Amino acid sequence: MTTGSAPRRVTIADVAGRAGVSTAAVSKVLRGAYGVSPGMRAKVREAMDELGYRPHAAARAMRGRTYTLGVMLSDTRNPFFPDIIEGVTGQLVGTEYQVLLGPGGDEPRSQARMTDAMIDRSMDGIILISPVMSSTELAAIATTTPIVVIGRHGSAAEYDSVVDDDVVGARLVVDHLADLGHRRIAHITHLDRGRASGADSPQAVRAEGYRQAMRARGLAEGVDVVATSFTEEGGYEGARQLLARPARPTAIFAGADVAALGVLRAAYEAGLSVPGDLSVAGYDNIGIASLNPISLTSVDQDGHVIGATAARLLVERIEGRGRSVLSSVSPTLVVRGTTGPPAGRE
């Protein structure tokens, strides 16, 4: 066999016995509840330490909290999700809460399944990163367990939301390029196959922000949006289409860095120098954007702040806040080597 049978867990009964008090007292100390004398509290604490007591989460779950927060990940490959996780866990350091991540996949069904699994496991609250679900479904979940939604614009009374301000992000890029002298600035966006998120999705808001910013700069007729996908391949395809235009754009604003990488490849293949012949900007400021051979101008959304905010809001909800909150985190533009003045700048 594997090894001798697993040693029995230390329970509050053991602690109570050791400290010479009741289990109720131990439970109260554990929860920091009212009605225990300092002396008894000290005795219990000591007994817990001596015995190496650790509360059994499942048992707690039967009556009270589990001190477990779930994070439903829609995409484990999302380049800034580590930042969000770091923000979440960082915010929770020093509290009793533990964070568990659930890979939800990119389909509505699998995401719903993971969310249910988290609810079934009595998580005290759940953070959903870019969920592909309708607001109605989200609201339904929120009646069971407090939730905070990251990355979906559009708020609801039932839950809190944290989003990057994609309108501002798009404007930062357009303004930067327009300031450099570009007039034909094209945009590559992501085409939703699913029907769920719609106008609430970051890509939709970025595209709309792009249009607004172009108009605001008096570049309405320079607006040119191509919808492929936020992948390297999607960026490549989009760029190929754009570069085949009779009057090709002098700058391409890709709605995501991965797509911008594809744009760079297309430019390279077309023999266009960057930023000499074509300026390229992305969104997300993923790790490699800063690396030398790439050096991509990009919009940085502070994943750390987003994660920390989400965690804070979730704990507030769990502890009783009723009113709904929508927190918008401002992005910043990181200018690097892929953007410069257009070639024919007079």
- Binding part of the chain for DNA, among 5-13, 193-201, 252-260, 268-276 by CB under 7 A, reads 5-13
233-249 as b/e: b if 16+ CB within 10 A: ebbbbbbbebbeeeebb
Tell which one of 33, 42, 140, 191 touches DNA (CB under 7 A): 33
35 is a contact residue toward DNA (CB under 7 A): yes
24 is a contact residue toward DNA (CB under 7 A): yes
Contacting DNA within 259-318 (CB under 7 A):
none
Q: Which amino acid is at 88?
A: V
**Rounded (5°) CA angle 252-301-173:** 30
Residue among 66 and 297 whose Cβ is closer to DNA: 66
Residue-wise DSSP of 313-337? HHHHHHTT--S--EEEEPPEEE--T
103 is a contact residue toward a second copy (CB under 8 A): yes
Single out the residue of 289, 288, 273, 292 nearest to residue 342, CA to CA.
273
Residue among 37 and 292 whose Cβ is closer to a second copy: 292
Task: Give phi and psi for 253, each to the nearest 5.
Answer: -105, 105
Contacting a second copy within 239-278 (CB under 8 A):
261, 264-265, 268
Rounded Cα–Cα distance for residues 276 and 280 (Å):
10
Tell which one of 21, 133, 252, 306 touches DNA (CB under 7 A): 21
- Give yes or no for a cis peptide into 275 (omega within 30° of 0): yes
- Binding residues for a second copy, rule: CB under 8 A, are 1-4, 6-7, 54-59, 61-62, 66, 68, 70, 73, 76-77, 81-82, 85-86, 89, 98-103, 105, 114, 116-117, 120-122, 142-146, 158, 232, 261, 264-265, 268, 287-288, 291-294, 317, 322
